[in-house]
Amino acid sequence: MHARRRLALRAVYQGSTGHGSRFRQLGRRGLSVLTPPLLDLRRQHRSALTSLEKLLVRLHAAAEHTEVLRESVTTLDSLFVCCVVGEFNAGKSALINALLGREACVEGVLPTTASVCLIKHPAAPFVPSSAAGKEDGLVVMDVDVEWLRSTYLVDTPGTNSIDEAHTALTQDFLPRSDLVLFVTSAQQPFSDSEQAFLRSVTGWRKHVLCVLNKADTLPPADLQRVLEYVSENASRTVGAPVKVLASSARVALKLKERLRQESAAELGSPLRAAAEGEAEGAAAAQWEALEAEVRRVLQDGARLKMVSQLATASRLLEVYASAEASQLALVAADRDAVDDVGQRVHAFQATMRADFEPQVARAMLVLARLGQRGHRFLQEELTLSQLPRLLSRDALVKRFESTVVADSSAQLEAVALSLADWMEGRSSALERDTLSMLRSRVQLEPSSAGDAEAAAAAAYGSRRAELLLAMQSSARESVGSDAVANAGERAVAAVQTCLAQALLLEAGAAGLTGVVSVKAASMLDLTGLMPAFVIALTGLAVLPLQRYRLQLDLQQRVDELSSSLNEALQTHLEAELQHAVTRSLAAVKPFREHVEREHAAHEERRGMLDAVKAELSAMHLALERAERPAVSIVEPKT
């Protein structure tokens, strides 16, 4: 139905632009004369609408919206479109018959206008499309009235029709109309449904003339109150003053038929001469005022057509600017979320480095205690009272290993595992924060408050959702993996590598045990060559000296080991830190790049929308200031 309706509507404009020079001649005859400023504005107008159409295509606008703009460009020179809208039984058909001066449309208490009826002059061009016919919602009627040479008069189904297709058809014509005659009945003025429909008309910013029909059914005092009521409510709905004119369409048609003059069918023809009695005289005066206003609008048709098209363009611009702003807000929120991850990562790095020292200090404490035990061991073992025990080198080495070295390697490995747990716990917390951010962004769907927003959201939202879901899955797998065990293995390997390189806890000549065994052996060899009385005389000097030297060597080796292990742990922790940081940043990298690209694209499009908006506003202001033509709507007959 929607496709056929668009074809039917297109037929209206194909008719307006068909027949080449013949239509242009009719246009010059019927439309108001364009001044040089208006001619220049029309060129700018056509260029601006074309630019907007191209921009909306980039914004993935709905096809019917770009089609409206395309039609506006191609129909700028076409006939003026006056659309009559209102609820059924408001008297729309009667109003049209009175304007035409004959009964062209069927009237009735039931909805009689089942299709959009396009009323035109027989000489006015119209090329129906192959799909435009009565079954497609458009009926074309020729009426030989001179003022229709410049105007298409459109009769629409009731806005409160029970047939939704009729209401939709009426609303489809609104963006394409240049003047809207909004008809309400004095018997039930400005109902809730009329208010809602007028609000939709206002959305397209069309030139609206409100007609209170069946005014002859009310006493003068009541009529005035009803006029004030309709004017007040219509103005509130529109947001600007609305002119409301009273009419008695059936009385007006009766007066025109009574005159039986060809001129009576033309707008602005005097009717009071045919009136009989005060009531008909009042109805004639009301009708003359209505026709004078319609005539004034049609005389300014060329300018008002551009104003109307600009209003339609501005409305579409607002729709997609709003959709773009909505999507830009989502992109900005995504960007802030990604920036927040970056800030959390930087804070994580700073906190981890600040906490490195207390963690490494635990390993240094193991070595410090080892040094203390070694110092105490040498202090207790290298004495004259322990000389017999010193004669056995192997026994000395075993006592050193069990008392001093003990389980230092195991303690250092335990410290390394604890460091790995600490590091991985902090890293997992960072990854959980990243996962939480991704989950929150997945749950926040792009706005789709309307068709335009939905179309705009689809372009950004599809790729966005795809990336977020993929990264969420990857982050969840990362958090639930065996990363903790791997990190512990890496930490222990770093400690073992450091100890193996230093050889300080081994029994070789370069190790701590070697320090004791080699020095002790030298001392024992020396004492073995000495007579007992010499040892007795010199022991008090030799043993303290050897003990002091051994303690210095032991402390030097412990200090070297501490320095080497500290450097190894610092290097390991820095590598683990960078690994965690890289993993977290890599998790959001595709999303961050996508968001940055979209943000730049949205900023570019917003700049283009703002530029077009400024151009349309400037043109609208120029059209409002342009001089109105002071010519007749039709040429005098010759």
DSSP letter (8 states) at residue 586: H
Q: Which CATH number fits domain 79-299: 1.10.357.10, 3.30.1330.10, 3.40.50.300, 3.40.1160.10?
A: 3.40.50.300
CA 476, 481, 483, 485 torsion-angle sign: positive
List the structure tokens of 21.
Answer: 């020079």
Q: Which residues contact 475 (CB under 8 A, 6 or more apart)?
A: 431, 434, 435, 438, 587
What SS3 class is residue 118?
strand
Residue pointed to by tokens 């050897």: 546
What SS3 class is residue 176?
helix
- The shares of helix, strand and coil residues in the chain, as percent rounded to the nearest 5, are 75, 5, 20
For residue 98, the model assigns a pLDDT of: 92
HEC states along 473-485?
Answer: HHHHHHHCCCHHH
List the structure tokens of 223.
Answer: 């009529």
H helix or E strand, kind and range, residue 246: strand 244-246
DSSP 87-100: -TTSSHHHHHHHHH
- Give residue limits of the domains in the chain: 79-299, 324-591
Residue pointed to by tokens 């002119």: 243
Q: Which residues contact 568 (CB under 8 A, 6 or more apart)?
A: 494, 495, 497, 498
Residue 89 falls in which region: left (phi positive, over 0), alpha (psi -120 to 50) or beta: left
Residue pointed to by tokens 């020396």: 526
Residue type, 563: S
For residue 310, the cross-strand partners are none
Report the DSSP pairing between strands 151-155 and 80-86: parallel
How buried is residue 515: exposed, middle or buried, by Cβ count under 10 Å (0-12/13-18/19+)? buried
Q: In 3D, which of 344, 495, 346, 501 has the Cα closest to residue 420?
A: 495
List the structure tokens of 564.
Answer: 């080497």
Q: In 3D, which of 549, 517, 554 has the Cα closest to residue 395?
A: 517
DSSP letter (8 states) at residue 145: -
Are the CB atoms for 478 and 587 separated by under 8 Å? yes
The segments of the chain whose pLDDT lies below 50 read: 1-32, 108-112, 129-135, 162, 166, 447-449, 453-454, 479-485, 502-510, 524-539, 631-638
Residue type, 313: A
DSSP 494-508: HHHHHHHHHTTTSSS
Burial state string for 555-572 with b = 16 or more CB within 10 A and e = fewer than 16: eebbeebbeebbebbeeb
Residue type, 451: D
pTM listed for this prediction? 0.59
Q: How many CB atoms lie within 10 A of CB 47?
A: 12
Q: What is the pLDDT of residues 546-565, one digit of tens each?
A: 778 888 888 888 888 888 88
What SS3 class is residue 153?
strand
For residue 634, the model assigns a pLDDT of: 38
For residue 182, the model assigns a pLDDT of: 92
Residue pointed to by tokens 């030989």: 144
d(CA 251, CA 27): 33
H helix or E strand, kind and range, residue 439: helix 408-443
Are the CB atoms for 100 and 143 separated by under 8 Å? yes
For residue 96, the model assigns a pLDDT of: 92
HEC states along 266-324?
Answer: CCCCCCHHHCCCHHHHHHHHHHHHHHHHHHHHHHCHHHHHHHHHHHHHHHHHHHHHHHH
For residue 290, the model assigns a pLDDT of: 94
For residue 486, the model assigns a pLDDT of: 63
Q: Which residues contact 141 (CB under 8 A, 6 or more apart)?
A: 104, 117, 118, 119, 120
For residue 130, the model assigns a pLDDT of: 37
HEC states along 381-414?
Answer: HCCHHHHHHHCCHHHHHHHHHHHHHCCHHHHHHH
d(CA 146, CA 264): 11
Report the DSSP pairing between strands 179-185 and 151-155: unpaired
Q: In 3D, which of 204, 227, 188 has the Cα closest to residue 86?
A: 188
For residue 628, the model assigns a pLDDT of: 67
d(CA 604, CA 279): 63
Q: In 3D, which of 18, 10, 77 has the Cα closest to residue 42?
A: 77
CA 50, 56, 60, 66 torsion-angle sign: negative
Q: How many CB atoms lie within 10 A of CB 171?
A: 16
